[in-house]
Chain A
Amino acid sequence: MSDRIIQTDNFSHYFGAIQTLKNINLEVRRNEILGIIGPAGSGKSTFLRALNRLNDLTYGSRIEGTIKIDGQDIYAPGTSIVELRRKLGMVFATPIPLPRSIYENVAFGAKMAGIKSKSELNELVTDCLVKTTLFEEVKDRLDSSATKLSGGQQQRLCIARILALKPEFILLDEPCSGLDPISTMKIEESLRQLKNEYTIILVTNNTKQAARVADRTAFFLNGELIEIGQTEKIFTTPADQRTNDYISGRFG
């Protein structure tokens, strides 16, 4: 099996007449954390949402080029979008627990996928909460509403919810943008552990976060991929002047 499990080929994306991504060519490797950085409006979130075809929900969304995951073109006709989305679990900037209990939130995806056995669900929910270090904090109130958790706990719950789908990839869209440093640290810690089992793509506004956790980092600007490479290289000796300007805080 190849190491390059996501491969995009001249991928462009449009919302109506506006081009949001321009000829993106990049690959994602197995069990790495790929950090994607760039200023607001650079297309990094759009790129992430193109991978699980969430942009399809927006009126006027259109693409050119291809994205291949495990060699399969995900925009090819006949692709099962539901299966694709289960394979690529997504975590959003604002944690969005569904208006249900903690337990139900984690079990939701698994139930959608048709798991009915109560003991199997219990085991799965516990396992996912343990992996995100949330279990100890919530084990006594699994039946209380998920919306009552703190922001950081909600975000870890959203990651746990993704894990219950047994995905191959975890897509994170600025997962720590609304969180305090301690919660952020906890999430980064669990990402480092999750890397052993999953391939992770982390879109972040916080360049330091990419420097801390990403193996490789990509820099997006105005819908273009400016540069991608090993994180140390991007942050120490970037090839492009614009990357250097961005990470040293000269704009963005």
Chain B
Amino acid sequence: MTRLERNERLIKIALFVIACSAVSILAVITIFIFSEGTPIMFKYGLRSFLLGLDWYPSEQSFGLLPMIIGSVMVTFGSLLVGVPFGLACAIFLTEFSSRRLRHILKPIIELLAGIPSVVYGFIGVVILVPFIRETLGGPGLSVLAASIILGIMILPTIISISIDSLQAVPRSYREGSIALGATKWQTTKMVILPAAKSGIIASIILGMGRAIGETMAVIMIAGNAINIPRSVLDPVRTLTSNIALEMGYASGEHRQALFATGVILFIIIMILNTIANATSVKGKAAK
């Protein structure tokens, strides 16, 4: 074996160890959350956790249903705001804008992802919440406010992944349709969007994962009251907010119940990621 080959082998081993450590960190976190969170779930019964309406940790009442509903409402609300907006942006930038405009706008949109979430929350508290309180009523801190801010926060994810999948549609599809006398919009609607479908779905699911996991901005603008909201103007608490708000002073079973909250969140996000991977892999296999 020459020296070069020996070096090659060393580098390979070193990189392998580094790659393993990244994976093992994930494994450690997973094991930790589950070992801390699952015992209490089984002690009081899964049912009382998932379907219980009351969260009084000091009285051994750990109902997470309001928070689960809260997370679901805020997440879907953010999709209602972010998906039409983001998809329209992506379609405009790939199919209708000039190349120069796209080169200017795409990096700017991606910059949105770099704004810290506390800043989004701050803007929500200072501008959006008072606006909702004055025009629509209610406390302002609400499902609606959280949905709008989260909808904006998931835009970069949706836009950039949708743009990538729209651009991956073969040029020949576009030309074929255009040469048949279809307008750009007809081409987009009937040829490009169906062909890019799997990538667009993946972008929506990844945006959803981001929305469901977001904590800081949501704490600042969702109101955090533990009840099932009757309208979008009511305040709400999400799973993530629940952990972040109470972890500081929780101990004993209360602390374990917060880990149980984490377990539920973890499972929801895992399911979403698996769906996202499956749809994008399926899309690639189809091409």
Residues of A within 8 A of B176 (CB): 92, 96, 98, 158
Contact of B180 among A57, A99, A109 (CB under 8 A): A109
Using CB atoms, name the residue of chain B closest to A111.
B190
**Interface bits A85-96 vs B (CB < 8 Å: 1, else 0):** 110011010101
Q: A59-B99, A99-B194 are in contact. Are A85 and B173 (CB under 8 A)?
A: no
B residues contacting the other copy or chain, number (CB 8 A): 19
A92–B180 CA distance with the chains assembled, in angstroms: 11
Cα distance, A90 to B172, chains bound together (Å): 12
Complex contact A98–B172 (CB within 8 A)? no
Inter-chain CA distance A16–B173, complex, in Å, is 24
Q: Is the interface of B mostly helix, strand, loop or mixed?
A: helix
Asked if B232 is an interface residue, CB under 8 A from chain A, the answer is no
Please report B residues at the A interface, Cβ cutoff 8 Å.
99, 170, 172-183, 186, 190-191, 194-195
Considering residues B176, B177, B180, B182, which has the most beta carbons from chain A within 10 angstroms of its beta carbon? B180
Q: Does A74 contact B (CB under 8 A)?
A: no
Q: Which residue of B lies closest to A80 (CB)?
A: B181
A112 touches B172 (CB 8 A): no
Question: Which residue of the partner chain A has the closest CB to B100?
Answer: A59
Beta-carbon nearest neighbor of A86 in chain B: B181
Query: How many Å lie between the Cα of A28 and that of B172 in the bound state?
Result: 27
- A:151-182 near B, CB below 8 Å: 158, 161-162, 165
From B99, B174, B186, B194, contact of A112 by CB (8 A): B186
Could you tell me how many residues of chain A have their Cβ less than 8 Å away from some Cβ of chain B? Answer: 24
CB of A108 within 8 A of CB of B179, answer: no
Closest chain-B Cβ to A91's Cβ sits at a distance in Å of 9
Q: Is B180 a contact partner of A85 (Cβ separation < 8 A)?
A: yes
Closest to B177 in A: A98
Q: Are B172's CB and A92's CB within 8 A?
A: yes
A54 contacts which chain B residues (CB < 8 A)?
175, 178-179
Min C-beta distance of B192 to chain A, whole Å: 10
> How far is B179's CA from A52's CA once the two chains are assembled, in angstroms?
8
A108–B172 CB distance below 8 A = no
Taking CB atoms and an 8 Å cut-off, the chain A residues in 92-137 that contact chain B are: 92, 94, 96, 98-100, 108-109, 112-113
Are B178 and A85 in contact (CB-based, < 8 A)?
yes
